[in-house]
Chains A and B, each alone.
Chain A
Amino acid sequence: MIGSSSLAASAGSDGARLSVSTTQTSSPLRHRHRLTGTLWTLLYLGLAVAPLVVALVPPAPPGRDFWTEVAVAAGFVGLSTMCLQFAVSARFRHVAAPFGIDVVLQFHRQIAIFAAVLVIAHPLILIADEPSRLGLLDPFSAPWRARAGLIGLLAVLILTLLAHLRRRVRLRYEPWRVSHGLLAVAAVAGALIHIELVGHYLDQPWKRALWAAYTAGVVGLLVQVRIVRPLLQRRRPFRVEEVRPERGRAWTLTLRPQKHAGVSFQPGQFAWLTLGRSPFAIEQHPFSFSSSAREPDRPSLTIKELGDFTGRIGEIEPGTTAFLEGPHGAFSIDRYEGPGYVFVAGGIGITPIMSMLRTLADRRDPRHHELIYAAATLDDLTFREEIDELAGVLDLDIVYVPSRPPADWQGESGRITPELLRRHVVDEWPGHEYFVCGPRAMMDAIERDLVAHGVPLDQIHTERFAFA
């Protein structure tokens, strides 16, 4: 039987200590992630409302009317949430581990709306409560405390609009990312100066210390993310060894570490790739590892031609310097112990699943696994030949689902229907863990269909790339 310590040891690196249980279905690692995830969430909530708690501690200034105090509280929580956004978006692997970085960034986007609402509500409530305050929005006549707040407010407004309208105004990702960082700094700096100059709840030095700590935290995070991390990456360069075309308009980049051991990852994880001489480059893209986790010194990333950057992957010269930030992600068999796995892939969604299949084969995994793989045609099934070979090494059943099958095709076709899932996996393999990766609509449909078939939601794992 696998114990929590041996499983934990396997989490960071695919070392020889890893053993696989065929009988255990509940994972101690899963419980540990739940516990640490709950603790991080509580810490987040505590830090978000800490300014209100500190403001309430005596000696406090005389109270004012309800709406003025609500407006002040909205501003405080809006600012603390904005400060916390620097931590949430900093891609800390240990913080993200219980959740997966994809959902941490989803949280970043969703909670940003709430923070923006609070920051915008702050002056609106104050003005609605006392219309004479409208003059504080005039940058020419307003005192500096209001001007600083106005700068923060405008930065939040532009930041929010650009985040939601970037594609509509056709702003490229890289300039948007630079503007996003600069506007976030302007928003927080303006707001911090604003509360310092207003000073209403900062009459005690120790109350000031709270906001000093938030300021130090934001500055520290900026230094860590923008300077320290790229410097550390610079010491771990890779070289592109091979650029190989794959079926389905995809390319596999194989990397070789330069004077270091490479990158230890869990199968199914991904990393941010930077190409070129410097890890300080703005252009950075997340791609799944497709190689076995047993080969940290020869990682491969498989990339489909979809956009500006991915459309040029085939032009990359072998020998090009590359940097990897990661690994990241919670979409891995190493996080979810089970009697076997069902992999459901759509198109290039096969990439992380290929890493898991190759790793299982390298581990000589004895359990039963199922792969359901949909693509437009049989020729678009990336890795098809190797997957067929893996079926000889693993106890692996394969169901290809081409939406446009050849005339003599005997197998499944069309799309992955609830009936297909029930027939091939749900009825046959009730305890298996499901890994689903593909277009968003496909993942939503399959998740819904599996739940309707009675598969517990916590046995269904998806990877949703929506970082840009």
Chain B
Amino acid sequence: MRHKLTTYVVIAAVTAATLAILVFGLVRSL
């Protein structure tokens, strides 16, 4: 249970961080 949740948290963190990086790139290049 806890281990499965961890993988979901990792996926969520990776997705959030990737989005943040792309948004940063977009905002700074406008």
Contacts and interface: CB of A to CB of B under 8 A. Distances in A.
Interface string A33-54: 0000000010011001100100
Interface string A44-71: 1100110010011000100111111110
B3 to A, nearest CB: 6
Contacts of A64: 28-29
Contacts of A49: 16-17, 20
Nearest to B21: A73
Main secondary structure of the interface of A (DSSP, over half): helix
A457 interface: yes
Interface residues of A, number: 39
Contacts of A68: 29
A103 B3 contact: yes
Contact of B6 (A55, A73, A110): A110
Given A55-B24, A74-B21, A103-B6, A65 B16 contact: no
B12 to A, nearest CB: 8
Interface string B1-30: 111111101100110110011101111111
Contacts of B3: 102-103, 106, 462, 464
A428 interface: no
A45 B17 CA distance: 8
Contacts of A103: 2-3, 5-6
A374 B5 CA distance: 27
A404 to B, nearest CB: 30
Contacts of A52: 20-21, 24
Contact of A110 (B1, B7, B29, B30): B7
Among B14, B16, B20, B24, the one with the most A-chain Cβ atoms within 10 Å of its Cβ is B24
Among A48, A60, A103, the one with the most B-chain Cβ atoms within 10 Å of its Cβ is A103
A48 B29 contact: no
Interface in A326-363: 330
Contacts, number: 85
B25 to A, nearest CB: 4
A274 to B, nearest CB: 26
Given A67-B25, A114-B17, A99 B6 contact: yes
A318 B11 CA distance: 48
Nearest to B11: A110
A111 B24 contact: no
A223 to B, nearest CB: 27
A77 B17 contact: yes
Contacts of A110: 6-7, 10
A460 interface: yes
Given A45-B16, A114-B14, A77 B1 contact: no
Contact of B25 (A44, A66, A81, A106): A66
Contacts of B4: 457
The 6 closest A-B pairs by CB, nearest first: A70-B25, A69-B28, A66-B29, A73-B21, A73-B24, A69-B25
Given A41-B9, A45-B17, 14 more contacts: A56-B28, A64-B28, A67-B25, A69-B29, A74-B21, A77-B17, A81-B17, A107-B6, A111-B10, A111-B14, A457-B1, A461-B1, A462-B2, A464-B3
Interface of A: 41, 44-45, 48-49, 52, 55-56, 60, 63-70, 73-74, 77, 81, 99-100, 102-103, 106-107, 110-111, 114, 118, 330, 447, 457-458, 460-462, 464
30 contacts: A41-B13, A44-B13, A45-B17, A49-B16, A52-B20, A52-B21, A52-B24, A56-B24, A63-B30, A64-B28, A65-B29, A66-B25, A66-B26, A68-B29, A69-B24, A70-B21, A77-B17, A103-B3, A103-B6, A106-B3, A106-B6, A110-B7, A111-B10, A111-B14, A118-B17, A118-B21, A460-B1, A461-B1, A462-B2, A462-B3
Interface of B: 1-7, 9-10, 13-14, 16-17, 20-22, 24-30
